[in-house]
Amino acid sequence: MAGNPFDLAGRKAMVTGANTGIGQGIAVALARAGADLALVGRSAASETLALVESEGRKAVQIRADLSSTAPVADVVAQAVEALGRIDILVNNAGIIRREDALEFTEADWDAVMDTNLKVLFFLTQAVGRHMVDWASQSGDRGKIVNIASMLTFQGGIRVPSYTASKSGVGGLTKLLANEWATKGINVNAIAPGYIATNNTAALQADETRNRQIMERIPEGRWGDPSDIGGAAVFLSSRAADYVQGHILAVDGGWLAR
């Protein structure tokens, strides 16, 4: 393998939910490795855009509500128009709803499953079709990285639709790897542990829960979005050409404990 196998120079990546937190950490890491970015999300990703551009990479914002499949075709078309193609897709966008299973509503079930699993699949399908065509012309491999969860492996509590959706993401990752490996596409996933973001601010501020979490993590700290970014660079690079259908836990040792 000639050259730096982690180098993403010239590669074109789409990251969903890139405005903050894990999505932002992934986008910045891909840019530092050399990729240009399409930043997809419901809200503005202005800060992420500035960070990517500060790395000397091109970035474009694509505003889209990924709670339904309606914008999928347009999102892909905009990314291809802006960047020329899509080599890397990171499916990071997701939502969570919390309630006891006995009280959980159909509306909360559908909202989470639609965003976290249904739209993820159909966006991946649309990008996959583009990648298959591009791979047949160029010989370059496409890379798809799904964001799974600790609850891809564990049950959790009070998040039935989130657990079901993230378990489904793990299964889809393996299925798509099985189908697309011979078509020039690698499909893998990252399962983040407890990452310090705006979404986990309440947990970090809760003295009891924060202590319980820290006591279980062998690494002894919360993760940083950049920890997920490093894993995303690996799975998006030539270094991972022989990695297929894998769910990489980036959790400070949480599952090992």
- Domain residue ranges of the chain, discontinuous segments joined by +: 12-194+226-250
Q: Which of 134, 162, 222, 254 is catalytic?
A: 162
C-alpha closest to that of 190 among 155, 161, 233: 233
Q: Is the pLDDT of residue 137 over 90?
A: no
| CA–CA separation, 174 and 155 (whole Å) | 19
- 162 in active site: yes
pLDDT-based confidence at 92, cuts 50/70/90?
Answer: very high
| Residue 201: band (very low, low, confident or very high) from pLDDT cuts 50, 70, 90 | confident
pLDDT, greater one: 198 or 145: 145
Q: Kindly state the DSSP code that residue 45 receives in the 8-state scheme.
A: -
User: Order of strands, edge to edge, in the sheet holding 12-16?
Assistant: 59-63, 36-41, 12-16, 88-91, 142-147, 185-192, 247-250
**Cα 218-221-224 angle, rounded to 5 deg:** 120
Report the chain's mean pLDDT, rounded to a whole number. Answer: 96
Of 1.10.3470.10, 3.40.630.40, 3.40.50.720, 3.40.50.1820, the CATH number of 12-194+226-250 is 3.40.50.720
